[in-house]
Amino acid sequence: MKSTIIEAQNLNLTFQTNDGPVHALKDVNLSIDKGDFVSFIGPSGCGKTTFLRVLAALEHPTGGTVTVNGVSPDEARMQRAYGYVFQAAGLYPWRTIARNIKLPLEIMGYSRADQDKRVEAVLKLVDLDGFGGKYPWQLSGGMQQRASIARALAFDADILLMDEPFGALDEIVRDHLNEQLLDLWARTNKTIAFVTHSIPEAVFLSTKIVVMSPRPGRITDVIESPLPKDRSLDIRDTPEFLEIAHRVREGLRAGHAYED
Amino acid sequence: MRSLSAVLTVVAVIVSFWYAACIPMNIKGVLTEAERAGAVVVPEGARERRDLGTFGLVMGNQFAIPATWAQERPRLPAPHQVVVELWQTTVMKKITSKRSLVHHAWVTLSATLLGFAIGTGLGVLLAVGIVHSKVMDMSVMPWAIVSQTIPIIALAPMIIVVLYSIGVQGIIPKAVISAYLSFFPVVVGMVKGLRSPDAMQLDLLRTYHASRAQGFWKLRLPASMPYLFASLKIGIAASLVGAIVGELPTGAVAGLGARLLAGSYYGQTVQIWSALFAAAILAGCLVGVLGLIERVMLKRMGMAR
């Protein structure tokens, strides 16, 4: 029943810097199924963001292959196969929330009527009903980030790439947004790749957790989560949750053992 | 209220410094006139006084101090003399009169505005080219910088002569000099503004597979607006300077520059100073108007809070 949507084989990416080559990604093998919620976790420099950027064709691998929907990331980008959510909301200050969400729709040439319909729908989806006419500075950080998620959802991308989207928010807001994100994922059936450095966040959200370690950036563990797809924040106190969190922590520690 | 008193204090200090400066600047002339009118002056004879320090002269002839603020052709006119002259040549004169400062200011202003429009258009176009083309960045930017290192006072006569030889005269040469001075701040500001979107913003557009034109109209241009207005304010002041300088070498008969020139030919210092103040007031108004447009526009764009 499951179909592979992202497939990476022997993926390598080396940046040439003044201090010599840096192995951002080394021999990365990973497949992501349609409808998966995959978290990438690891210390900074482990290549988790770089991997996401490779998927989005913002970086290009120096070795190995990667396919998105069966085609190269560049072609997938031209087919507008994914929405990307960055760490900062990055809303245009001169556009209202509604017009910010319209930005990708304008660029992709959706009709006026369709644009309005979609903006209304995604605003409802991220719980920002009635905020369409506000400017970004009139919203809190959490609301701005939700607006940027709405912007990524507005067009029909099957894949949502999220690069530490809640990294700059406080824990209470973050918990709330995590719950909303799960809800949104269940309703839209998108495939989500999510970069984080928070173990509870990764375990709470994911069906698959990819543990990575730095220098060279590589995958040290891939954990298929046994937790049910439908979950609430209370699940964080169950033994299953703690067990997975423990395994993630072990994986992160193992990665660090190579250092020094 | 407190800031108002601070502003007034600064103005008062400047004005009193100015009045004080008039005394030593004008004392020799005043003493000569007084002696001619029969007053007793120490020491006697303009020749005797020529090499004396002004401080001693003032101390020895304190009766002459009020007269230093009321000469007909002072070296340094007193503030009230300039204000009276400004009043008489603006409000009290018909605009059509050749002695009306409003008339002269308009002549200069028209060249300023035309030059400003040309300079701004040119500056924006150059900035767009520089941002989008590495070749233009490397080939145009150095010349733009070099162009501003040449003193305009040296270049202005040449521009006027060259343009005259191909049959262009009147307002155009002055506007060209204005544009020459005003395009540069616009180029620098717009290049910075068009480059102000960060890497994340550009990446986002890439994930939408947006074209360069879309990136320009939807991101770079609106992002550059605050930078543009900062540049325009510098640019319009530079334009006014350009127009005035453009009036000097031709012996123009109308314009604030012409008033400066005529004033210096005939020793009419009061006229020079009133023309200077007219130029300063004009520049202040132009910058103020731009500031107003900036406020309205950024507010409408949602960028002002």
Per-residue pLDDT of chain A (260 residues; tens, 9 = 90+): 468 889 888 888 988 888 888 888 888 889 999 889 999 998 888 888 999 999 999 999 998 899 988 888 889 888 888 899 998 888 999 999 999 999 999 999 999 999 999 999 999 888 899 999 999 999 998 899 999 999 998 988 889 999 998 887 888 888 888 888 898 888 888 899 999 988 989 999 999 999 998 888 888 888 888 888 888 888 888 888 898 999 988 888 877 655 44
CB atoms < 10 A from the CB of A241, how many? 19
Both tokens assigned to A9: 């084989």
**Number of helical H runs and strand E runs in chain B:** 13, 0
The CA distances from residue A233 to A188, A196, B120, B162, B278, in Å, are 20, 17, 58, 79, 71
CB A94 within 8 A of CB B302: yes
Percent of chain B scored above 90 by pLDDT?
60
Both tokens assigned to B294: 């900036």
Task: Write out chain B residues lying below 8 Å of A95, CB-based.
Answer: 302
pLDDT exceeds 80 at position B135:
yes
To the nearest whole Å, the CA of A140 is away from the closest chain B CA by 15
Better-scored residue on pLDDT, B267 or B42: B267
Q: What ipTM did this prediction achieve? A: 0.86
Q: Which domains does chain B have, with CATH numbers?
A: 2-68 (no CATH), 101-301 (1.10.3720.10)
> pLDDT, tens digit, for every residue of B251-293?
678 889 999 988 888 888 999 999 999 999 999 999 999 999 9
Whether residue B302 and residue A95 make contact (CB cut-off 8 A), yes or no, is yes
Backbone angles phi and psi of A219, in degrees to 5: -90, 130
To the nearest whole Å, the CA of A127 is away from the closest chain B CA by 23
Whether residue B302 and residue A78 make contact (CB cut-off 8 A), yes or no, is no
pLDDT of residue B69: 92
Taking the C-alpha atoms of residue B16 and residue A224, their distance in angstroms, rounded to an integer, is 83
pLDDT of residue B218: 93
Of A83, A84, A107, the CB nearest to B214: A107
Whether residue B201 and residue A78 make contact (CB cut-off 8 A), yes or no, is no
Taking the C-alpha atoms of residue B57 and residue B65, their distance in angstroms, rounded to an integer, is 10
Whether residue A58 and residue B206 make contact (CB cut-off 8 A), yes or no, is yes
Q: Where in chain A is the domain with CATH 3.40.50.300?
A: 4-81+158-256
pLDDT of residue A18: 86
Mean pLDDT of B190-201: 93
pLDDT of residue A2: 67
Q: How confident is the model at residue B215 (pLDDT cuts 50, 70, 90)?
A: very high
If you measure CA to CA, which chain B residue comes closest to A78?
B209
Taking the C-alpha atoms of residue B251 and residue B174, their distance in angstroms, rounded to an integer, is 12
Helix (H) or strand (E) holding B242: helix B221-247
CATH 3.40.50.300 fits A4-81+158-256, yes or no: yes
Task: Write out chain B residues lying below 8 Å of A83, CB-based.
Answer: 207
pLDDT of residue B46: 79
Give CA angle at A37 (A35, A42), nearest 5°: 150
Whether residue A90 and residue B301 make contact (CB cut-off 8 A), yes or no, is no
Among chain A, residues having any CB pair with chain B shorter than 8 Å are 53, 56-58, 77-78, 80, 82-84, 86, 88, 90, 92-96, 103-104, 106-108, 135, 137
pLDDT of residue B114: 96
Better-scored residue on pLDDT, B154 or B115: B115
The DSSP line for A197-257 is: S-HHHHHHH-SEEEEEETTTTEEEEEEE--S-SS--GGGGGSHHHHHHHHHHHHHHHHHHT
pLDDT of residue A260: 44
Helix (H) or strand (E) holding A159: strand A159-163
Kindly state the DSSP code that residue B216 receives in the 8-state scheme: I
If you measure CA to CA, which chain A residue comes closest to B215?
A107
Task: Write out chain B residues lying below 8 Å of A167, CB-based.
Answer: none
Task: Write out chain A residues lying below 8 Å of B222, CB-based.
Answer: 92, 94
pLDDT of residue A252: 86
Kindly state the DSSP code that residue A71 receives in the 8-state scheme: B
Q: A4-17 and A20-33 as β-strands: parallel, antiparallel, unpaired?
A: antiparallel
Among chain B, residues having any CB pair with chain A shorter than 8 Å are 200-201, 203-210, 214, 218-219, 222-223, 225, 301-303, 305
Helix (H) or strand (E) holding A219: strand A218-224
Whether residue A107 and residue B302 make contact (CB cut-off 8 A), yes or no, is no
Both tokens assigned to B239: 């334009």
pLDDT of residue B35: 87
3-state secondary structure of A76: helix
The CA distances from residue B183 to A18, A156, B94, B110, B176, in Å, are 38, 45, 35, 17, 10
pLDDT of residue B305: 59
Mutation choice for A interface testing from B200, B206, B209 by most A CBs within 10 A: B209
pLDDT of residue B63: 87
3-state secondary structure of A20: strand
To the nearest whole Å, the CA of A86 is away from the closest chain B CA by 8
Mutation choice for B interface testing from A71, A107, A138, A162 by most B CBs within 10 A: A107
Whether residue A58 and residue B305 make contact (CB cut-off 8 A), yes or no, is no
Q: How confident is the model at residue B180 (pLDDT cuts 50, 70, 90)?
A: very high
Task: Write out chain A residues lying below 8 Å of B210, CB-based.
Answer: 107
Nearest to A215 by CA among A13, A22, A29: A22
Whether residue A84 and residue B222 make contact (CB cut-off 8 A), yes or no, is no
Whether residue A103 and residue B218 make contact (CB cut-off 8 A), yes or no, is yes
Q: Tell me the average pLDDT of chain B.
A: 90
Better-scored residue on pLDDT, A172 or B83: B83
